[in-house]
Amino acid sequence: MIKEYRQWFNRNYSESLYQQYLQALDSQYPGAIEFRVAETPVFVGRDFKHKMLDACEAIIDVITQDNFTAITDAAIPAEWNIPGSQPYSHFMVFDFGVCLGADGLPEPQLIEMQGFPSLFGFQSYMAAAAQKVYAIPGTLTTYLNGHTEESYLQLLRNIILGSCQPEEVILLDLFPHRQKTRIDFYCTQHYTGIKPVCLTALYSEGNRLYYTNENGQPVRVKRIYNRLIFDELEQQLPEVKAKGALLHEQLEVEWIPHPDWFYRVSKFTLPYLQHPYIPATSFLSDLLAIPDNLDQYVLKPLFSFSGRGVEIDVTAEMIKRITDRHNWILQRKVEYAPVIETPDGPAKTEIRVFYFWEEGKARPVATHNLARLSKGKMIGVSYNKRETWVGGSLAFFEED
C-alpha cells in the first residue's frame, strides 16, 4: 500500500528469490508448512497503521471496562465453562480488511477478533526470513510500538512462562503434529522451550495435571499455553471428545490465556463496538426486521472457526431458517479493495494485529502482525490455492 515500496518490490522480484524465501522458511522445520506462503509482504504506511491501531485501542477501551466480563458471560457455552477463569486475556488478535474509504484512500475495517493466540512464533521467524531474502529496507518493520525481534520474543517468553520453567509449561492442542499451524508450534518451542502436547496425552492425579514424556517419565504441567479450539474438539471421535472432561476438573494449573477469552473477545463482542473502522453488527435475535439490502451484509455464526458457516450472499430465506438466532450476527459487509499490485492481477489483503497483555499492566499492547492475501471472495490461506501472489504473509510498517 506504500506505492514506492510496492513498485520497488515488484521491480526486483524474481521466482528465484521467492524460492529462496520458501527454502529459508522450510529449512529449520522441513515439511511443516502446509499452507501457501504468499510471494510478497504487504507494505503499510503510517496513516493506515495509525487508523488500524486507533480502532484496536477503541476495542481495548471496551474490553477493559469493569462490566465487560458480565456482558460477555453469555458468550461462554455452558459445556465449556472451564475452572480457573482469569480477569484478562494474555493474548488477543484483531483482523482488519483493507478497504477504500469515502476519500478513496485505503482504510481498515474490522472483520473479526479473538481472545486467543495466533502464529506468534512463526510470524517472527517469517519476518526474519523475508527481511533477509528480500533485503527489506531498514525503514520498515513488522513490529509495533517500538518492539524489535529481541524484545518481542522476550515478551512472548515472559508471558507464556510466567514464573515457571519451560518443562512445566505445555502448548496444548489436539494432535499438534498434524495441525496446519504446527510450524508455529515448533517455532514457539524453539523460542520458549515449551513442548506441544496433545490433549489425549494428559491425565490427572488428584488436582495435578501430567503427561508422560518420550522417556516414559511423568511430567507435571503447571501452565498451559492454550491453542486448543473446542469447536474442533467437538468434531472428534467420542473417545477423543471424552478427554475434554479432564479440563472440567479443579486442577492446579494456569491457562495462558484461559479458554473463556476465546468466547469473550470474539464475534460476540462486535455488536457492542462503535467506531468508524468497525462495521455495524447486530445479533440476529435483536433484529426487529430483516433489512431489504441484504446484499450489503454478511451472516456469521458466533461459534465457528476459520470462516466455517459464514454466509456472504445472504437471503431473507436463509435468515428465516435459522432457529437459534441468538447464536448468529448480521454484520455490515465490507468491500475488500484490490490494493496489492501483482504481476498477474491485484490482490486483496487482511491484516491481523497481535496484542500482548503483560501481568501487572493496565492494558495490552500491539506487538506484531500477520497478513493474508487473496484474489477470491474469501480471505485465508485455505482459499484460492491455484492463484499466485496469495496466501500467508505479513505487513511491514513504515516507522514513525
What is the DSSP secondary-structure string of 183-232? HHHHHHHHHH-PEEEEGGGEEEETTEEEEE-TTS-EEEE-EEEE---HHH
Instruction: Please give the pLDDT value at position 377.
Output: 65
Q: How confident is the model at residue 309 (pLDDT cuts 50, 70, 90)?
A: confident
List, in sequence order, the alpha helices (H) in 64-172.
68-72, 120-134, 149-161
Q: How confident is the model at residue 78 (pLDDT cuts 50, 70, 90)?
A: confident
Instruction: Please give the pLDDT value at position 308.
Output: 72
Average pLDDT for 138-153: 97
pTM of the model: 0.93
pLDDT over threshold 90, residue 379: no
The beta-carbon contacts of 314-322 under 8 Å, at least 24 apart in sequence, are 316/290, 319/284, 319/290, 319/294, 320/290, 322/284
The answer as to CATH 3.40.50.1760 being correct for domain 162-256 is yes
Q: Please give the sequence-ordered ranges of beta strands (E in DSSP) within 31-79, or none if there are none.
A: 42-44
Q: How confident is the model at residue 385 (pLDDT cuts 50, 70, 90)?
A: low
Instruction: Please give the pLDDT value at position 394.
Output: 97
The single residue listed with the C-alpha cell 510478497 is: 40
pLDDT over threshold 60, residue 363: yes
Domain ranges of the chain: 1-144+262-279+347-400, 162-256, 281-333
Q: Residue 355 in 3-state DSSP?
A: strand
pLDDT digits (tens, 9 = 90+) for 79-118: 888 999 999 999 999 999 999 999 999 999 999 999 999 9
How far apart are the C-alpha atoms of 87 and 85, rounded to whole Å? 7
Query: What secondary structure does DSSP assign to 329-350, as a single string?
Result: EEEE---B---B--TTS-BEEE
Q: What are phi and psi of 188, to 5 degrees?
A: -65, -40
